[in-house]
Structure 1
Amino acid sequence: MMKKLMLTLLTAALVMPLLVFGSEGTAHATGSVTVYPTPANLPAAYKSADFTVTAQGSQVAAYNAGSNSWGNNVSYGSFEMTGSVSVSITPNFNYSSYRLVPRSLGLNVTRSGNTITFTLNEPSHVTLILDDNYQGKVLHLFADGPDTNIPSENDPNVIYYGPGYHDLTGSGASPIMLDSNKTLYIAPGAIVRGRVRAYNASNVTIRGRGILLNDTTPNDAHGNITLALNFVNQATIKDVIVNNNTANWTSAVHGSEFVNVTNYKGVSPKFASSDGFDINSSHDITFNGSFIRSADDSIAIKGLSDETEPALALPIYNIAFFDTQLWSDANNAIGIGAETVASYVKNIHFQNIDILYNFDDRNHPDVLPDRSAINIFALEATHFSDITFEDIRVEKAKRLINVQMDTSFYFGALHGNWSWPGEMKNITYKNITSYSDGTNEIKLAGWDNQHQISNVMFDNININGTVVQDFNDPHFNMNSYVNRIEVKAPGGLAAKSRLQAAEDYATVQGNQGWRYRVLPGGGTAADMSWNPDSSNHWRGMSTFDAIWSDNGNFYLHPDNNNQVALEWQAARPGTVRLTGVASKLVATGGDGVKVSIWKNGTMIWPADGQWQTIAYNDTAGVSHQVSTTVAAGDKISFRVDQNGNSSYDSTSWNPEINYEFNNVFNAAWDMGHLQGNHGWYYRVWRSGIGTTNMNWNPDGSNHWRGPGAFDAIWNGSGNMYLHPDNSQAMLEWQAPKAGTVRVKGQVRKADTTGGDGVNVSIWKNGTMVWPADGQWQTIAAQDGTGVAHDFTLQLTQDDTLSFRVDQRANSGYDSTAWNPVIRY
């Protein structure tokens, strides 16, 4: 039988009803609060002197959670309430402005002197921010409803901690261990300093309105996580406050299932690796009404199985978060990945979430472009599907959304593997509202043609009052391994990045830009008429000219020298890729057909300007892949004409139109620990020797290193840096496809304290292309402003651009800042 832990200190709770009168003496609705005084024996370090808090006139204990990433104390407090209650907060220091978040609470706030007062009509989590400084002193206040299900402290299946301070740390101290069918109850007014564990157990419960506090790092066999459930089936975590003031995870479940977390409050300000709640290789996990503040990921859903191959690892599925507030001082507020050793990640749902704050990294601000408020990041190739983010409000964040596949994380601290199958698909962002002054970037970056991101819906994305209308919105940053993007705005038609004739087939002209037309004698195009008989065909002016769809396939038939044309009109500008296969449907007769693709009045396929003939019996047909730019209103026409006659001329052709995205290559954003990552290479060049690859040095500097003592390329503060040393330092990029690129950047001396300056240039293959006069550009030793370049080039696939820095007489102080950006 488990030994019952008796109360070490009894402290009476104070129940304070209060009648509130308006200025004219009219009685308003009243409520009551229950507050719990600070334990008498609590060390002073855990008490907050920064804020004085009252609810219905009764003082609420304020605690010091520890210092945040910038050395400022984070405070928190809690009380229980019924009805409508008045809350007052007095910061015990000077301030100018204040903000209560989330704004979705709709609180009416007044200020008198230093005191801020508001009314709560229902239990809520409220955060006070002063002078708009999210990195400053902050108060988190948790107002709960009454706890009506208090277990008996005499129950042998309950570990009970009553009001008071209980220190379970010290040399050799173990966590509180929960076996099957056991309950840990931390009563209101209780502070338990220690850790909690459950291993290979079922039906365990952790609850109560008290505080689990951990500020020690014992590094023992049980690990340093404050609250951890490993391989647990059926568990409940409810109401507790977990204050983790260590650079370790706050709470986690691993290999567990059917865990319900309700009204959990996690406060973890210490930088870093203090994730708020990690869900590792688990399934059927549900969160409701919770609050998580961390100095790393607030929520992290990870694949951390012991297997090295994802297909053999535990899956992650059926994870849901509702009505939750999140705050992350580093990394992501919502993070799915980066560790992704899981057979699949499926059915993940976030709804009604307030993201109060999201910063990327204290030590490397703006250098980690994969950090965002809402993040999916894959290192290992696996299968992500059916992930929904709905009704999410972002108060302040560096970036908004990131969906990314990559080979390294945090300067090579974690490495991935893309040798297995994998994709990300069926991801929905619905009713996302950002009030943030950050970039609000929406980034999607697939890995290659075998590992793509597809079927992503953006439905009502509102950024500072403006709704995103289509995928050409400047907040989007997507690479060429992203497809089937759809953007919906209230009251408007969906903007789709992928249009397919059979999928979009309709009984009206113009659906998704498609029209069904006929060109009599190859002349002026006219609309066909819809024939609603059993054939459901679009019909031309002759007997057999028709366009129709059947079972996901698309068919065209010319007649009597009338070409039939499936025409698509672009609603928005961009580069589109036209793919498909044209083939004979019927191979039993006739003399074949001719096919072509036109943009406005010009044939663009075949490239020689001659129609492509499809033989009468060619059911394999001819494929096409054509890229072309379109302006809004441009027309793409897929045409079929008879050869000598129109007998047996039914032609199968289901063309697909895909918008190709901007394809932005940013040297600092794309830097990885592997040569060739996103097309970038890190090299040196020396006369008489030629080009040599640098080697990755994964020490704290995270540099690429050449053969000399100081030749290096590295990333810092949003810039790339190059330093030559008897060799030219050379950042190279290889074009993934043909096209026109814009090459933009600023090159300057990073170290202006000495030396004799550097020489810089840009080369295409073996020819200097900048400066245009073929002479290296000199950057003087003290030139911290430097020289800008901005020009366009025509490239073929595999062409190489080389950004070179060379010393002058010597390489002293030659660190050079240069972050080229290449955009198709």
Structure 2
Amino acid sequence: MVKSNVHASKGRKIIYMFLIAAIVMLILESGSMAEASGTITAYPAPANLPSAYASSDFAVTAQGSQVAVYNAGSNAWGNAVSYGAFDMSGSVTVSITPNAAYGSYKLVPQSLGLTGTRSGNTISFTLDHPANVSLVLDGNYQGKVLHLFAQAPETNIPGSSDPNIIYFGPGYHDLGGPGSTPIYLASNQTLYIAAGAVVRGRVRANDVSNVTIRGRGILLNDYTANDAHGNITMALNFAANSKVQDIIVNNNTANWTSAVHGSSFLNITNYKGISPKFASSDGFDINSSHDLTFDGLFIRSADDSVAIKGLSDETEPARALPIYNIEFKHSQLWSDANNAIGIGAETVAAYVKHIRFQNMDILYNYDDRYHPDVLPDRSAINIFALNATHFSDIVFEDIRVEKAKRLINAQMDTSFYFGGLQGNWSWPGEMNGITYRNITSYSDGTNEIKLAGWDNQHQISNVLFENVVINGNQVADFNDPHFNINGYANRIQVKSASGTAKTRFNASDQFTAAQGSDGWHYSTRTGGGTAVDMNWNVDGSNHWRGPNTYDAIWNDSGSIYLHPDNNQAVLEWQAAKTGTVRITGRVKKGATGGGDGVKVSLWKNNTMIWPSNGQWQTIAYNDATGIPHVITAAVTQGDTLSFRVDQITNSAYDTTSWNPEINYQFNNVFNAAWDMGYLQGTRGWYYRVWRSGIGTTPMSWNPDGSNHWRGPGTYDAIWNGPGTMYLHPDNSQAMLEWAAPKAGTVRVKGLVKKANTQGGDGVNVSIWKNGSMVWPTNGQWQTIGYNDATGVNHDFILSLAQGDTISFRVDQRANSAYDSTSWNPIITY
């Protein structure tokens, strides 16, 4: 009986398990695990709303109630963008039914953790809290997309009878098209657009204070007036102590959506901007303003989503308004062109400082509808300076990038968008103190991280990359292939779980009580003897002390002091990695009351490298100005640089100030695909053809609207694709050429393979230095078979003089049919 009961019990358990599984399957098929118990308020579209503003691409319900869906206009690819909104509390179930067939769907951002379930064409998911959710079908971010705004219930709703309130209740309100006057707000006034209201027109608040623009309704602009009021849909100019809250701004024009200029102490919260029309439809422009807070925004734009600009009638930045104290947080951005986060390109401002972007989801970022992969200065997170000014204390923190062409760009340049904007570097300027912390990219783009300073007087410095994760891999050091850093960027750190990678080593800043910390050692040396470690603080002086009475090394007021005593006081630094370093500093007397001076020198291992004549440099007893040094040296891991101070005849008053700084110089990386531009010579790259008996002929940019460099033949071309260059010959060799900006040794690396494998007879390829073939090394062109999609690698070293050229050539064989060839050379000093 017991045995039988056990079997029966097991049988019942099996039946129960099947029943539970069946119930679960039924629930899953119905679209949600359990009926959510929250409440929603949905606002119907105005009965008199013109049909062009309503969307039939998606049907949406929340807790079973229909949500109005609006048509924001068409994006750069001609596909309609839809949006809707409702208020909610508790946990609610949302169902979306696209009106067209689709294969897959995605609910973004990923940070919400929404997967949803599908039943037929309907997608259902549960929201436990208010959030902005976007639906992407079949992975097509350029297709028809729905943006849905689930908001907390509105509070403190104003009355319609207050004389200081301009009130628009539910319904469609058309203020008129071109020729109409925008709504102008006076100080202490409120514009309120109620949920369920659509107001077609523009809004202005000029030279005012204490104004409020709010409400859950829609401000809509779909015309370009070109009048004295300007074409921006919502603009606050020289406004102070004001706020924008909850409003939805739908801009369906190729003009900016919303902007502030010369304004201060503004709060913009829960703002939604949708402006899909290509292009110049920036989402929110922040011009020459300060003390602004943006919290909980959603911006979908066909140009920069957020743009912080220095716009001024002044030509000299120092005379222009500054930009400072701007905080942007808890928001979502989507840009169909240019940048999601953009600081610049216009930078006529006295300075730009104290800027924070925190807890952001970048849903999408593309570079340009008509010029994809041609504008290498566009990125998800961008600082672009055209005019020399001072950038400092800029932080990007807790930012998640879903899909973008490039990840990070900080760049100084002289022109923007095919010369549409011109810059000026006549004034002082730098970018100093930029932090990228907790940046996570899920993107399938290049994920390039570029830092490009302008020259020795305009550099990018003190940059921190902390916990940058790209597709699950943490960026750990400067060998990461995503970095593209030029020689005018320095003092950079990478912090990761594996430690901190540094490029800057400053003797004073890194002075410690531990030998070897950051590579620094404190020692003495006699004559031709070896270095002997000093001891720390043996006499309570917080000095490193040698074996004699006065030999010591210590730190004070931002400088290292060295004192010899019958032996040399030696500050040493050991290289943790191989590279080229720039060694700067100034050595001078610290005590000028007497004595006979000191002699100083800098050594690499056992060879004096400064002074260059091999003779020690004398510093007179009273020389408080001293001698500066700037030395560039190649170091191998384990090499030692020794900063030595020796007495002359005695050590009286021999305290010597010397604070050397060692900076690794970035190997200038020249990546053909990343660097491609629309001008010959951009980053040293040239686009040409070569033909026997004729020689070299420059190609022309984009004569047929194809975003290609074109030669004289029908099909000879060079163009850019995702992560590679393409070359096609046509009775002439297609020739990608690069001119060396400086003398040095370079590594030339790449993979050449057929891009079009459908036919033809293959191509011949080679690499030339000036007029001589350097690859293949046998002097014979390398043949790439017509269907060779694997290709051939090259990786070799060349010594170059400034101005030497390296030519990457593709030639047809018997004919040029199907001769498109993939080749992305990377040249590294």
Please, what TM-score do these two structures have when normalized by structure 2? 0.84
1:537 paired with 2:543, answer yes
Q: SS state of the match for residue 311, structure 1?
A: helix
1:353 aligned partner, one-letter code:
M
**C-alpha contact 2:484 2:669 (8 A) present in aligned 1:** yes
**Alpha-carbon shift at residue 405 of structure 1 (Å):** 0.6
Distance 1:411 1:788, change over 3 A: farther
**C-alpha contact 1:70 1:136 (8 A) present in aligned 2:** yes
Q: SS state of the match for residue 211, structure 2?
A: strand
Deviates more, 1:439-448 or 1:715-724: 715-724
**C-alpha contact 1:598 1:638 (8 A) present in aligned 2:** no
**Alpha-carbon shift at residue 239 of structure 1 (Å):** 0.8
**C-alpha contact 1:301 1:337 (8 A) present in aligned 2:** yes
2:576 aligned partner, one-letter code:
A
Q: SS state of the match for residue 420, structure 1?
A: coil
**C-alpha contact 1:499 1:658 (8 A) present in aligned 2:** yes
Per-residue displacement from partner, 1:380-432 (whole Å, max 9, x unpaired)? Answer: 11111111112222222222211011112222222222122111111112222
Query: Following superposition of structure 1 onto structure 2, how do residues 15-30 of structure 1 map, counting pairs within 5 Å?
Result: 30=37
**Aligned mates of 1:135, 1:48 — CA distance in 2:** 17
For 2:331, the equivalent position in structure 1 comes to 324
2:432 counterpart (413, 425, 438) = 425
- Give the gaps of 5 or more residues in structure 2: 1-26
**C-alpha contact 1:580 1:625 (8 A) present in aligned 2:** no
Distance 1:695 1:124, change over 3 A: closer
Per-residue displacement from partner, 1:183-239 (whole Å, max 9, x unpaired)? Answer: 222111111222222333333322111112222233333333222223333332111
Q: SS state of the match for residue 104, structure 1?
A: helix
**Alpha-carbon shift at residue 284 of structure 1 (Å):** 2.2
Query: Following superposition of structure 1 onto structure 2, how do residues 699-710 of structure 1 map, counting pairs within 5 Å?
Result: none
1:627 paired with 2:630, answer no
**C-alpha contact 1:581 1:624 (8 A) present in aligned 2:** no
Distance 1:704 1:131, change over 3 A: closer
For 1:658, the equivalent position in structure 2 comes to 663
1:478 aligned partner, one-letter code:
I
**Aligned mates of 1:32, 1:759 — CA distance in 2:** 67
Distance 1:192 1:753, change over 3 A: farther
For 1:130, the equivalent position in structure 2 comes to 137
For 1:55, the equivalent position in structure 2 comes to 62
1:800 counterpart (800, 804, 807) = 804
Q: SS state of the match for residue 202, structure 1?
A: coil
**Aligned mates of 1:99, 1:783 — CA distance in 2:** 36
**Aligned mates of 2:527, 2:74 — CA distance in 1:** 79
Distance 1:411 1:532, change over 3 A: farther
For 2:502, the equivalent position in structure 1 comes to 496
For 1:18, the equivalent position in structure 2 comes to none
For 2:310, the equivalent position in structure 1 comes to 303
1:234 paired with 2:238, answer no
1:603 paired with 2:610, answer no
Per-residue displacement from partner, 1:132-191 (whole Å, max 9, x unpaired)? Answer: 332233221111122222222223332222212223334533333333333222111111
**C-alpha contact 1:286 1:319 (8 A) present in aligned 2:** yes
**Aligned mates of 1:388, 1:455 — CA distance in 2:** 12
Deviates more, 1:576-585 or 1:140-149: 576-585
2:81 aligned partner, one-letter code:
V
Q: SS state of the match for residue 353, structure 1?
A: strand
1:508 paired with 2:522, answer no
For 2:209, the equivalent position in structure 1 comes to 202
**C-alpha contact 1:545 1:559 (8 A) present in aligned 2:** yes
**C-alpha contact 2:747 2:795 (8 A) present in aligned 1:** no
**Aligned mates of 1:615, 1:310 — CA distance in 2:** 41
For 2:491, the equivalent position in structure 1 comes to 484
**Alpha-carbon shift at residue 677 of structure 1 (Å):** 5.2
**C-alpha contact 2:449 2:483 (8 A) present in aligned 1:** yes
Per-residue displacement from partner, 1:753-807 (whole Å, max 9, x unpaired)? Answer: 99x999986344xx535457897969999999999765322234x3432548799
- Give the gaps of 5 or more residues in structure 1: 1-21
For 2:642, the equivalent position in structure 1 comes to 637
**Alpha-carbon shift at residue 85 of structure 1 (Å):** 2.1
Deviates more, 1:173-182 or 1:365-374: 173-182
Please, what TM-score do these two structures have when normalized by structure 1? 0.84
For 1:738, the equivalent position in structure 2 comes to 744
**C-alpha contact 1:211 1:242 (8 A) present in aligned 2:** yes
Deviates more, 1:129-138 or 1:427-436: 129-138
Distance 1:617 1:724, change over 3 A: farther
Distance 1:746 1:27, change over 3 A: closer
For 1:11, the equivalent position in structure 2 comes to none
For 1:103, the equivalent position in structure 2 comes to 110
Distance 1:80 1:641, change over 3 A: same
**Alpha-carbon shift at residue 498 of structure 1 (Å):** 0.7
**Aligned mates of 2:318, 2:710 — CA distance in 1:** 36
Distance 1:553 1:691, change over 3 A: farther
**Alpha-carbon shift at residue 662 of structure 1 (Å):** 2.4
1:768 paired with 2:766, answer no
**Alpha-carbon shift at residue 746 of structure 1 (Å):** 5.2
For 1:14, the equivalent position in structure 2 comes to none
For 1:3, the equivalent position in structure 2 comes to none
**C-alpha contact 1:713 1:729 (8 A) present in aligned 2:** no
1:553 paired with 2:572, answer no
For 1:42, the equivalent position in structure 2 comes to 49
**Aligned mates of 1:507, 1:781 — CA distance in 2:** 63
Fraction of identical pairs, as percent = 62
1:517 paired with 2:529, answer no
**Alpha-carbon shift at residue 522 of structure 1 (Å):** 4.1
**C-alpha contact 1:412 1:673 (8 A) present in aligned 2:** no
Distance 1:611 1:359, change over 3 A: same
**C-alpha contact 1:667 1:720 (8 A) present in aligned 2:** no
Per-residue displacement from partner, 1:701-753 (whole Å, max 9, x unpaired)? Answer: 899999x9999998654648799999998955242353444365759999x99
1:266 paired with 2:273, answer yes
2:607 aligned partner, one-letter code:
M
Q: SS state of the match for residue 474, structure 1?
A: coil
Q: SS state of the match for residue 203, structure 1?
A: coil
**Alpha-carbon shift at residue 486 of structure 1 (Å):** 2.0
1:116 counterpart (114, 123, 140) = 123
Per-residue displacement from partner, 1:666-696 (whole Å, max 9, x unpaired)? Answer: 3554456777654557899999999999999
Task: Give the CA RMSD over aligned residues.
Answer: 4.2
**Alpha-carbon shift at residue 476 of structure 1 (Å):** 1.9
**Aligned mates of 2:492, 2:201 — CA distance in 1:** 48
1:351 paired with 2:358, answer yes
2:108 aligned partner, one-letter code:
V
Per-residue displacement from partner, 1:252-295 (whole Å, max 9, x unpaired)? Answer: 12232232211101112222222111112222222111111112
Per-residue displacement from partner, 1:47-71 (whole Å, max 9, x unpaired)? Answer: 2223222212211112222222333
Deviates more, 1:786-795 or 1:252-261: 786-795
2:522 aligned partner, one-letter code:
Y
Q: SS state of the match for residue 469, structure 1?
A: coil
**C-alpha contact 1:583 1:614 (8 A) present in aligned 2:** no
For 2:21, the equivalent position in structure 1 comes to none
Deviates more, 1:667-676 or 1:217-226: 667-676
1:576 paired with 2:576, answer no
Q: SS state of the match for residue 544, structure 1?
A: coil
Q: SS state of the match for residue 156, structure 1?
A: coil
